[in-house]
Structure 1
Amino acid sequence: MAKMDYTAMETVRSVDVAKPNVEVSKGLRNARLKLEWLFLQKGILIMLVGFLLGRALILSHLMPFALPFFAVVYVIKRKHSPLAFIGLLAGSLTLSISSMSYTFFSITLFLIVFRMTKKWRKDDFTSLPYFVCGTILISSFGFSYIMQQFKLTLFDGVMSAIEGGLAFILTLIFIQSIPLLSIQKRKRSLKTEEVVSVIILLASVMTGTMGWTVYDLSIEHIFARYLVLIFAFVAGATIGSTVGVVTGLIFSLSNVTSLYQMSLLAFAGLLGGIMKEGKKVGASIGLMIATLLVGMYGEANTILTQTVYESLVAICLLLITPNTLTNKLAKFIPGTNEYHQEQQIYMRKIRDVTASRVSQFSSVFEALSNSFKQFDHIKEEDHDDKELDYFLSNVTEKTCQTCFKKEQCWANHFDKTYNLLKDVIYEHDIGNIPLSPRLTRDLEKHCTRNDKMQDAISKELTFYQANLKLKKQVKESRKLVAEQLLGVSEVMRDFAKEIQKERENHEIQEEQILESLEDFGIDIEHVDIFSLEKGNVDIDMTIPYCGGKGTCEKLIAPMLSDILGETVVVQKEECATFPSGTCHAMLGSAKNYAIESGVAHAAKGGGLVSGDSYSMIELGAGKYAVAISDGMGNGERAHYESLETLTLLKKILQSGIEEKVAIKSVNSILSLRTTDEIFSTLDLAMIDLHNATSNFLKVGSTPSFIKRGDKVFKIEASNLPMGMFYEFDVDVVTEQLKAGDLLIMMSDGVFEGPKHVENYDAWMKRKIKEINTSDPQELSDLIMEEVIRTRSGNIEDDMTVVVTKVSHNTPKWATIPINYYRKKKKIS
């Protein structure tokens, strides 16, 4: 009991502790949101930046920052331009009255000219730098003319031109960096030029602090080193040294005595970025090393202890900077791990959304398929009885409605009348006219209008049969649509699963492959591994131009075959067209089996157009299809039917739909598109190139044969030709092929072609066994020749023989062993 009380007290205490923590975090979040609202949305940050830029000087008296800043804010965020104007005037007022007057005059002149030329401008952003440059030139010349007592010197003209040029460049820079000060304009990532623009903007703002000191420590030096530390710690040596150079350059332009700061900041950014793996302490040590080295060899009037103190203050600012802020900054800079992770998260979201949408579409197609199938659950007998009732209703309306025996027949003897008329309808339906003697006597005894009744039944039967045929076609069309929708649904569902397969990280394997190939003296610029799955290797490589020597095929692929333990071949190669270029190669797993085919083809009577068609279709996922279609009869119409059958089949199979569904779909399309008695056969073999398993689907076709050494096997299935019936089941025969097997497929013109032969199976087996060749083309030609010889050289029907040889896939180049490397490291 005491234990339970103690536990309860601990639970209450933990809840009490957690509640203030939640309230504190919520309060901090609210404070952060209020600060963002005040500084970003209300424009206080723009006013503060304007204040510092209003104080910023170049060469001690040039002011190229004020007007570009105001002009960009005026174009991008016009509602904040009054705050920018106030900030710039206040900043320039801290310098002198004449500086404020110059700023006021240049901004006013810009507004007047910019508004007056509004109707002639097509793009504000394109013309803005030119307006700023022109306004600065006019303002600078005017003020110099007035301040020099209406005189101008060459020095004044040069300074005005320099100020105008700097204003032109700064306008272009501010166009990219100013939008980042607005919360609505935040981007998920920054381009390289945008990062440099932000650095220039920050360095320009810091020049506004020039001359500010605290305990003889320069504010501008402290913040400049803090800025370099932040970027070196977040983005590494490259960005860190860039920030140091840019910041030091702008400081040196503002004050020539600050020239040595460029060396210190650039060196600090380089060392801090190199030592960033030591976290904030490592970056801080880099700054201190740079401070001591540059300080000792710096200017004579520079006090080393003062420089060290400034660096220590910058280090303290870095140490108290929250990690959340540095992590958030890293997400915007390309090349950082945080940026890469952010991009991965974004791509993962896009992938998941895409997969979800594809799955939704799959569900929609599946629901549509089910809606078309729901009528199939209705019993056929009930449907036929209802149709018969409608038929009898139409017949009796024309005969029995005006008969005086109506009540006696349908009220008193309903069953007898109903069954009698059913028998009459059945006799008329099967064409047994006149009726059988027994049925004629029964009808004459029961019905006083038997002749009129038979005429009405005969007439209505025509419409009844046409209606049944039409409804059957509609039903089959509905089934066709349902099967097609279901097949599309399955393809889209599989596609969604493929999208959701996240690419594995193979950085270690990429480094191992690079090291292995470089040990053999092969220069590789880049390797991307997408998959190392057995039988599904997918690797992209970029290599220098090899001069057409085939380095990828002869060296790289054989070496990878030994490293990965399976045959790897070059699937696609894009060679450079000039010596200094690069080649791009895509390597993947080789199939375990290869296919070689031979075809012998002849039209009836030696004509040009045959009713037979054949096709060899290479599908994805390592499958190979061989098909023969024989159109009914001969000539162009038969050729069109067989060719259309194979064309439809090829398109459906390449879409990824399973072969049984594909054949049923083709059959339904052929049976519904025409009323002519035109049919076609189909002989299809689907061979898996990974394990040599073959599925045979025969629709009205002749048997196929497999020759394995001295043995010949027959493959047959019983299915009616395509287009004969709306619905039929496809029998699939599965056989395991072996290397060296010869698969012989033929049309009926070849199988049934030999004259005076009773057993076609035995004759064909014997001839295939007697032909001593393993070449597919020779075997097909010899079979065709044997059949035509039995007919004394006459071709009585269209004839097609397709022979397919299955063999082990032997790579063109042997595997190059890398035993030393594989003992040292094994790729997993």
Structure 2
Amino acid sequence: MERIERSWINQISEVSLNQTQAVFSRWIRHLKLRIGHLFIHKGFLLLVIGFLLGRALILSKLTPFALPFFAAVYTMRRDKAGLAFVALMAGSLTLSFETTLFVFTAMFSFLVFYGLVKKFFSDSLKMIPFVVFCLSASTKLVITYFLLENKTMYEAVMAFVEAGLGFVLTLIFIQSIPLLTVRKHKQALRAEEVISLIILLASMLTGMIGWSFYGLSLEHIMSRYLVLLLAFVAGTTIGSTVGVVTGLILSLANVENLYEMSLLAFAGLLGGLLKEGRKIGVAFGLFIATLLIGLYGNGKADIVPTVMESCLAIVLFWCTPSSLTKKISKYIPGTVEYANEQQQYVRKIRDVTAQRVAQFSHVFQALANSFSTYGFSSEEYDEKEIDYFLSGVTEKTCQTCFKKEQCWSYHFDTTYGYMKRIMLEADNGDLVSNHKLLREWDRHCVKANKVVEMIEKEVALYQANKKLRKQVNESRKLVAEQLIGVSQVMEDFATEIQRERENHYLQEEQIFHALQEFGIEVGYVDIYSLEKGNIDIEMSIPYCEGHGECEKLIAPMLSDILGETIVVKREECAVYPNDYCRVAFGSTKTFTVDTGVAYAAKGGGLVSGDSYSMIELATGKYAIAISDGMGNGERAHSESNETLQLLQKILQTGIDESIAIKSINSILSLRTTDEIFSTLDLAMIDLQDASTKFLKIGSTPSFVKRGDKVIKIEASNLPMGILKEFEFEIVTEQLKAGDLLIMMSDGVFEGPSHVENHELWMKRKIKELQTNDPQEVADLIMEEVIRTRSGRIEDDMTVVVAKIKHNTPKWATIPAYMYAKKAQ
């Protein structure tokens, strides 16, 4: 019992502890949201900034910060302009009456003149710096010369210097204010924005001049803390930049702070270099800089306060939560957190896009299913049609008959059966010859002749409706097949979108060092895939002035490292000579196809009814097609050419060839009532393994010449456009390197005169060929066929010859020495 009680007590305590932690975390999250709402949305942050800028001085007498800050806030966030006005006035009151008068007069003048500027200039934002310059100079001169009566050239020069600083600061504050008053989501800070923000923060620090804590200057503590924070977050570049900018502004405010610029810049540099040591390393960098610059600058007497100020800055830095540093680093380019944030954002966009594409794919699939479903089977539909047909006949014949009750109430099945048989016989055209059925019906019905005449009359309308329904069903089937194909393509596209770069750090390092050892400078190497036959690598190299360095050197080295032939897939050359080119490398295909074509029109005309096409598809296949339109001349050429154009466009989208051919057949059969059809001879060669699919729609046999052996490839399928619904046979053949694939139209296959067996004749001629050049083979076959006709061309003739070859790279591989092993 005691053990059970202890276990219960432990469980209860764990539950209560978890609940306490959850409540505490919710309270912390709520507190953060409240603080963020108070500072960002309510504008409390602008109160702090305005107060410090209101009392900030340059050269102990110039106040160039107040008017630019108010102008920027009034322009960018007019709803917070009142807070900025109050804060600036409060800050200026801590200095002197002259400063307060200048700040008040300048801001009031801006409110008056800004309305006039908006009336005369459409883009008033660009005019704000000029307005600030003019108002600052004029206000300062009026106060100095007329109210204070300090009529010296020095005062006039200083007034214009202050106005110039105000002009520059206005441009800076206009970029900085939105960063502090608007929450940024998934957006990096530009370099100008980072510098503007640093200048604003440094200007705020000048407002702390004169504040001390046990003899320690507050502006020194906060400036060093700022350098520590940004050196830790962004590294050497930003850290040293913050040190130089902050030190420069502090030294302008107080000449005694001149050595502070060297200390802050050196601390930012050391802190950024020691960033890998985390907070300890950055703090150590500030401590070393303080000792070195402190001893060099003011001697041993003042080193103790300087060290104490750095120690306090380090304490503040150690107390800074990591969540804040991570949040800041997400907005600064070059940091790990920024890269992760960008990758996460890109990944999210990619996933959302892929999800939307997949949803569209499902929609198309659902539409295809909807078009494929007719609500009930064809037999059920026919039964309903017969019921409607017989109901109409009965209404016109049996409704007024005195034997209606007897026929349809007592002998319903017999009457319905007779009428149905009569209707079906009339539909088939066999009713007149079926005397037995007519005699039986005549004995059963008193109005037999009238019913038969009505059925024969109505059956024509029934046949028309049946034909129309069949055409509608065929159209729906065509739409369904197209939708299925589109759905499959979109599903594949969604999968391709989600392709993500895999982690191949070791292989990237090997390739990088191999190229470096060889003397090739490389910017970066990104490996997306090392799958055999599907390698995908991107890299950047310096501008090569068009010497072909990628194709001649880098690709051969990659071929040696990865153990397969690599070629340049895509290259984006640099615009400027000192820029980098981006190059994509990938696996080449195992096989290539060389082709040759020979064709002639009937009677030596210019327009042939045959058409041919040869295209390499993005799916790694090579398509060869011949289409023979019915007849000869322009119309036959238009028919065959349109067939191939449709086929090419559909295949290039990635739709399967079987669906493509069915779709083309449906289109050809539905678009016209003319008896116009065309044949199609299609070969789809896989360039990776040379396996080939042959789809022969009403076409003649094809032949494969392999050494002294000739292989015939044929299939018995009707031409396209004859039947609305047809099935075709797909023949698969494994080709090899060196094979000759010979495809021809019927004008060539059946062209030789006085030949009984065209197949044996063609095989013999192909076997006797003494050349393997595709173009020469096509020309020889065409010449031989025309010679048998004594030079006459009796029909359109087309021969397409393709030779399968191993893909031999243009450039030999270059050994990568110590990195020559496969990176896989």
TM-score class normalised by the smaller sequence: over 0.9
Whole-Å separation in 1 of the counterparts to 2:405 and 2:794: 67
> What letter matches 1:90 in structure 2?
A
Which stretches in structure 2 are left out of the alignment for 5+ residues? none
Whole-Å separation in 2 of the counterparts to 1:343 and 1:182: 23
Of 707, 710, 715, which aligns to 1:709? 707
Structure 1 residue 437: deviation in Å? 4.9
1:157-168 superposed matches below 5 A? 157-168=156-167
Give the percent of matched residue pairs that are identical in Structure 1 and Structure 2. Answer: 62
Which stretches in structure 1 are left out of the alignment for 5+ residues? none
- Decide whether aligned partners of structure 1 residues 577 and 296 sit closer, same or farther in structure 2, where only a CA change above 3 A counts: closer
1:575-594 superposed matches below 5 A? 575=573, 582-594=580-592
> What letter matches 1:310 in structure 2?
E
- Which residue is 1:478 aligned to? 476
Contact preservation (8 Å) 1:295, 1:302: no
Structure 1 residue 50: deviation in Å? 0.9
Whole-Å separation in 2 of the counterparts to 1:75 and 1:307: 41
- Normalised by the length of structure 2, the TM-score is 0.95
- Which residue is 1:198 aligned to? 197
1:350-499 superposed matches below 5 A? 350-375=349-374, 378-402=376-400, 410=408, 414-432=412-430, 435-438=433-436, 441-442=439-440, 452-453=450-451, 455-499=453-497
Whole-Å separation in 2 of the counterparts to 1:44 and 1:412: 96
- Decide whether aligned partners of structure 1 residues 304 and 720 sit closer, same or farther in structure 2, where only a CA change above 3 A counts: same
Of 722, 725, 731, which aligns to 1:724? 722
Structure 1 residue 411: deviation in Å? 5.2
Structure 1 residue 420: deviation in Å? 4.4
Q: More displaced, 21-30 or 86-95? A: 21-30
1:547-558 superposed matches below 5 A? 547-558=545-556
Structure 1 residue 46: deviation in Å? 1.0
Contact preservation (8 Å) 2:64, 2:165: yes
Structure 1 residue 555: deviation in Å? 1.3
Structure 1 residue 101: deviation in Å? 1.3
1:783 and 2:781 aligned: yes
Contact preservation (8 Å) 1:706, 1:713: yes
- Which residue is 2:823 aligned to? 827
Structure 1 residue 612: deviation in Å? 1.2
1:256 and 2:255 aligned: yes
- Decide whether aligned partners of structure 1 residues 148 and 390 sit closer, same or farther in structure 2, where only a CA change above 3 A counts: closer
Whole-Å separation in 1 of the counterparts to 2:65 and 2:87: 12
- Which residue is 1:49 aligned to? 49
1:237-316 superposed matches below 5 A? 237-299=236-298, 303-316=302-315
Contact preservation (8 Å) 2:501, 2:527: no
- Which residue is 2:66 aligned to? 66
Whole-Å separation in 1 of the counterparts to 2:800 and 2:173: 72
Residue aligned with 1:435, SS:
coil
Whole-Å separation in 2 of the counterparts to 1:385 and 1:534: 58
Q: More displaced, 296-305 or 630-639? A: 296-305
- Decide whether aligned partners of structure 1 residues 578 and 175 sit closer, same or farther in structure 2, where only a CA change above 3 A counts: closer
Whole-Å separation in 1 of the counterparts to 2:379 and 2:46: 83
Structure 1 residue 544: deviation in Å? 3.2
Contact preservation (8 Å) 2:510, 2:819: no
- Which residue is 2:657 aligned to? 659
- Which residue is 1:751 aligned to? 749
- Decide whether aligned partners of structure 1 residues 412 and 10 sit closer, same or farther in structure 2, where only a CA change above 3 A counts: closer
Contact preservation (8 Å) 1:180, 1:186: no
Whole-Å separation in 1 of the counterparts to 2:7 and 2:577: 77
Contact preservation (8 Å) 1:427, 1:435: no
> What letter matches 2:241 in structure 1?
T
Residue aligned with 2:732, SS:
strand
1:501 and 2:529 aligned: no
1:137-148 superposed matches below 5 A? 137-148=137-148
Q: Deviations over 1:358-381 (max 9, x none)?
A: 111111111111111221x73322
- Which residue is 2:100 aligned to? 100
Residue aligned with 1:656, SS:
coil
Aligned residues between the structures: 824
> What letter matches 1:648 in structure 2?
L
Structure 1 residue 440: deviation in Å? 5.5
- Which residue is 1:761 aligned to? 759
- Which residue is 1:349 aligned to? 348
- Decide whether aligned partners of structure 1 residues 335 and 573 sit closer, same or farther in structure 2, where only a CA change above 3 A counts: closer
Structure 1 residue 210: deviation in Å? 0.4
- Decide whether aligned partners of structure 1 residues 693 and 520 sit closer, same or farther in structure 2, where only a CA change above 3 A counts: same
Contact preservation (8 Å) 2:680, 2:699: yes
Contact preservation (8 Å) 2:129, 2:167: yes
Contact preservation (8 Å) 2:536, 2:586: yes
Whole-Å separation in 1 of the counterparts to 2:546 and 2:109: 65
Whole-Å separation in 1 of the counterparts to 2:107 and 2:548: 66
- Which residue is 2:9 aligned to? 9
> What letter matches 2:28 in structure 1?
L
> What letter matches 2:312 in structure 1?
V
1:771 and 2:800 aligned: no
Whole-Å separation in 2 of the counterparts to 1:381 and 1:546: 72
Structure 1 residue 337: deviation in Å? 0.2
- Which residue is 1:224 aligned to? 223
Structure 1 residue 91: deviation in Å? 1.0
Structure 1 residue 409: deviation in Å? 5.2
Whole-Å separation in 2 of the counterparts to 1:35 and 1:408: 93
Structure 1 residue 478: deviation in Å? 0.8
Structure 1 residue 573: deviation in Å? 3.5
Structure 1 residue 429: deviation in Å? 3.8
> What letter matches 2:733 in structure 1?
E
Q: Deviations over 1:553-587 (max 9, x none)?
A: 22111111001111001223445687656544332
Structure 1 residue 694: deviation in Å? 0.9
Structure 1 residue 89: deviation in Å? 1.2
> What letter matches 1:155 in structure 2?
Y
Q: More displaced, 801-810 or 448-457? A: 448-457
| RMSD over equivalenced CA pairs, Å | 2.3
- Which residue is 1:605 aligned to? 603
- Decide whether aligned partners of structure 1 residues 32 and 526 sit closer, same or farther in structure 2, where only a CA change above 3 A counts: closer
Whole-Å separation in 2 of the counterparts to 1:544 and 1:466: 73
Structure 1 residue 184: deviation in Å? 4.5
Contact preservation (8 Å) 2:186, 2:341: no
Whole-Å separation in 2 of the counterparts to 1:397 and 1:28: 83
Structure 1 residue 476: deviation in Å? 0.7
Whole-Å separation in 2 of the counterparts to 1:220 and 1:231: 16
Q: More displaced, 484-493 or 416-425? A: 416-425
Contact preservation (8 Å) 2:619, 2:654: no
Whole-Å separation in 2 of the counterparts to 1:774 and 1:466: 57
- Decide whether aligned partners of structure 1 residues 580 and 342 sit closer, same or farther in structure 2, where only a CA change above 3 A counts: closer
Q: More displaced, 198-207 or 570-579? A: 570-579
- Which residue is 2:510 aligned to? 512
Structure 1 residue 690: deviation in Å? 0.7
- Decide whether aligned partners of structure 1 residues 523 and 29 sit closer, same or farther in structure 2, where only a CA change above 3 A counts: closer
Whole-Å separation in 2 of the counterparts to 1:437 and 1:187: 87
- Which residue is 1:125 aligned to? 125
Q: Deviations over 1:251-303 (max 9, x none)?
A: 11111221111111001000000001001110011111111111121145971
Whole-Å separation in 2 of the counterparts to 1:523 and 1:187: 33
Whole-Å separation in 1 of the counterparts to 2:5 and 2:142: 87
Structure 1 residue 421: deviation in Å? 4.3
Whole-Å separation in 1 of the counterparts to 2:575 and 2:143: 60
Of 670, 677, 680, which aligns to 2:678? 680
Contact preservation (8 Å) 2:58, 2:252: yes
Q: More displaced, 212-221 or 379-388? A: 379-388
Structure 1 residue 509: deviation in Å? 3.1
- Decide whether aligned partners of structure 1 residues 794 and 558 sit closer, same or farther in structure 2, where only a CA change above 3 A counts: same
1:614-693 superposed matches below 5 A? 614-693=612-691
Residue aligned with 2:207, SS:
helix
Contact preservation (8 Å) 1:244, 1:269: yes
Whole-Å separation in 2 of the counterparts to 1:392 and 1:383: 14
Residue aligned with 2:233, SS:
helix
- Which residue is 2:113 aligned to? 113
- Normalised by the length of structure 1, the TM-score is 0.95
Whole-Å separation in 2 of the counterparts to 1:115 and 1:252: 37
